Amino acid sequence: MPPLSEEQQAALARAAHWFSRLHSEDLSATERQHWQAWHDGSPLNAWAWQQAERLQQRLSGAPLQAGRTLALAGERRTTERRSLLKGIALLLGTGGLGWGGYRQGSFDAWLSDLHTASGERLSHSLPDGSQLHLNSASTVDVRYDSQQRLLELRRGEIMLASATDPAGRPLRVRTAQGTVRALGTRFSVRCLDDGQTRVAVHQHSVEITPSDGQPVRLESGNQAIFDRSGILRQTAVVPGQDAWQQNQLIVNDWRLDDFITELARHRRGWLRCAPAVAQLRISGTFDLRDTEQILRALASSLPVRIERRTDYWISVVGR
């Protein structure tokens, strides 16, 4: 088989990422739509997906039925995410698709990701002493070398308290929309569902550089949302916005649908708010370690009830 082109290699790398996400218990409807759009976006993507399915067939030893891959998204995983990626990387690396060694570093990064499932939070000390905190359903690749300190946020949210580096290496967080450079600071970065990134600065400042835009400095107490082209808007940091580090969700006069959307990030399954009660308002401090108690509190304090089809399919509807 002739060597793969760089475009084929890149498409295969993306297919491996999507295959991992479709086997995840916390796959969202938005992510599923993004996968479909990627798959249908070009014949090359469809080809790469077909190769990933063939690899999965070889790993499982069982034929795939038409449409089986999407069905897997609603079932409990039978193979851990890292085990699946190790198998894909091994087959690619040993010539199953003529992959060779290209982008092995990308697979190594996936295999060594710091990640949290829905409802989990994680604190981690980085090699330079910086403190990294992952919110629920987040994935980060850590890439430190002699020239840089780089964190790649693939999904979710992180809080970073940067340490001084004797070697003077810049500390950056990169998302699909651009990079954020720490300037002796404590800040959070969150990947939003609509293809944007939000940065909130809690101490000192950061420099935001959109992929196709100009650098912008953001000072303490401010937050910004940006896409690849530039800064879309800036506002003040909301008090309690970082309370998730203490397993809390603090809200003040939020719409109920916004509250439910945020709460859904912290529990597995499908949680939705009916349009009829979406505009109800809610304030309070809630313990994210017990989302069932939060749902009971909603039912007792608002004119709503909790409708359950299963433990993982819940709707908040009017009484």
CATH code (residue 307): 3.55.50.30
What distance, in Å, lies between the first and last C-alpha atoms of the chain?
A: 63
pTM confidence score = 0.67
Evaluate whether residue 241 is within a structural domain.
no
Domain boundary (236, 255, 273) is at 236
- Please give the residue range of the domain that contains residue 32: 6-111
Which tens digits make up the pLDDT trace of 102-128?
A: 333 334 334 446 888 888 999 999 989
Q: How high is the pLDDT of residue 68?
A: 37
Residues 27-44: tens digit of each pLDDT: 777 888 888 888 888 888
Q: Residue 235 forms beta bridges with which residues?
A: 223
**Domain C-terminal end among 111, 126, 142:** 111
pLDDT of residue 56: 64
Summarize the confidence of residues 136-156 as an average pLDDT: 90
Pair 150, 176 in one domain: yes
Do 85 and 123 belong together in one domain? no
Instruction: Note whether residue 207 is domain-resident.
Output: yes
Domain shared by 153 and 191, yes or no: yes
Percent of the chain at pLDDT above 90? 52
The answer to whether residues 219 and 255 belong to one domain is no
Q: Convert the pLDDT of each residue in 231-285 to its tens digit.
A: 999 999 999 999 999 999 999 999 999 999 999 999 988 899 999 999 999 999 9
Query: pLDDT tens digits for 190-242?
Result: 999 888 999 999 999 999 999 999 999 999 999 999 999 999 999 999 999 99
CATH number at residue 138: 2.60.120.1440
Q: Examine the domain organization and report whether 223 and 204 are in the same domain.
A: yes
Residue 63, pLDDT above cutoff 80: no
Instruction: Answer yes or no: is 242 within a domain.
Output: no
Helix (H) or strand (E) holding 270: strand 270-273
Nearest CA to 160 out of 108, 120, 116, 122 is that of 122
pLDDT mean across residues, the chain: 82
Confidence of residue 188 (pLDDT cuts 50, 70, 90): very high
Quick check: is 1 in a domain? Answer: no
Domain count of the chain? 3
Rounded distance between C-alpha atoms, residue 153 and residue 139, angstroms: 6
Report CA 149 to chain centroid distance, whole Å. 20
